[in-house]
Amino acid sequence: NISSLFGSGSRSSKTFKPKKNIPEGSHQYELLKHAEATLGSGNLRMAVMLPDGEDLNEWVAVNTVDFFNQINMLYGTITDFCTEESCPVMSAGPKYEYHWADGTNIKKPIKCSAPKYIDYLMTWVQDQLDDETLFPSKIGVPFPKNFMSVAKTILKRLFRVYAHIYHQHFDPVIQLQEEAHLNTSFKHFIFFVQEFNLIDRRELAPLQELIEKLTSKDR
């Protein structure tokens, strides 16, 4: 049941970072509700399409916040398994290793453990989402000209958290019975970035087989 993805009722509400809320009564909140309703129909291809007459930047913004919240929750469930000892490097399988740099505080990429990397990453995303000049929540405030490139960087980095969970922590995900939840969330994410061409194919390589498997049923 896809709608349970969004209800905190049955799921452990332990998120890794505080949840990012979209203000009720705002147009973005209406868009989020629209997204949830379409997701409820179970057709993910339809659910990611830009609704008629809507602004692409705003649609990407709302969904980016939503994916941040979903990944925040998914990673929150497995933080006990992702430790300095278990994951001394941030990897997605033996061939892919990520080093952290944000371009401002840390300019030269540093090698760090997965929990440290994901903490840096999620804090960085949070800072972007909280920046009113990048993600304006007030009606009529325009998105900046570089919004799409910012959103692409955020989504590219959020993908790495999915990749790390799938490659290094899939066993606990199964034990916690979060597998369907993770797959649905990731599939939604992939359909979204494919629809608007937001992540370079090379970046998706660590999960290419899974992506093909999850998306082939819906062509």
13 band by pLDDT with thresholds 50, 70 and 90: low
* Confidence tier at 217 by pLDDT (50, 70, 90): low
Q: Let me know if residue 194 belongs to a domain.
A: yes
- pLDDT tens-digit map of 39-91: 777 788 888 999 999 999 999 999 999 999 999 999 999 999 999 999 999 99
Structural domain range at position 61: 25-214
**Residue at 3 is within a domain:** no
Whose CA is closest to 173, among 44, 86, 81? 81
Number of structural domains in the chain? 1
> What rounded mean pLDDT belongs to the chain?
89
Query: Residue 9: what pLDDT?
Result: 38
Q: Are 84 and 115 in contact, with CB atoms under 8 Å apart?
A: yes
Is residue 11 in a domain?
Answer: no
Cα–Cα distance for residue pair 71/77, rounded to 1 Å? 10
Cα 166-6-92 angle, rounded to 5 deg: 15
88-113 per-position pLDDT tens digit = 999 999 999 999 998 888 999 999 99
With respect to residue 191, please indicate whether it lies within any of the assigned structural domains. Answer: yes
Q: Binding site residues, as ranges?
A: 82, 87, 164, 169
Report yes or no on 12 lying in a domain.
no
Query: What are the tens digits of pLDDT across the range 104-137?
Result: 889 999 999 999 999 999 999 999 999 999 999 8
What's the burial of 174, exposed, middle or buried (CB within 10 Å: 0-12/13-18/19+)?
exposed
The number of beta carbons lying within 10 Å of the beta carbon of residue 86 is: 13
Task: Please give the annotated binding residues for Zn(2+), written as ranges.
Answer: 82, 87, 164, 169
Q: What pLDDT was estimated at residue 45?
A: 87
pTM of the model: 0.90
Q: Classify residue 1: in a domain, yes or no.
A: no
At 142, list the tokens: 């325009």
Q: Is residue 9 part of a domain?
A: no
The CATH code of the domain that includes 74 is 1.20.140.30
In a domain, 166, yes or no: yes
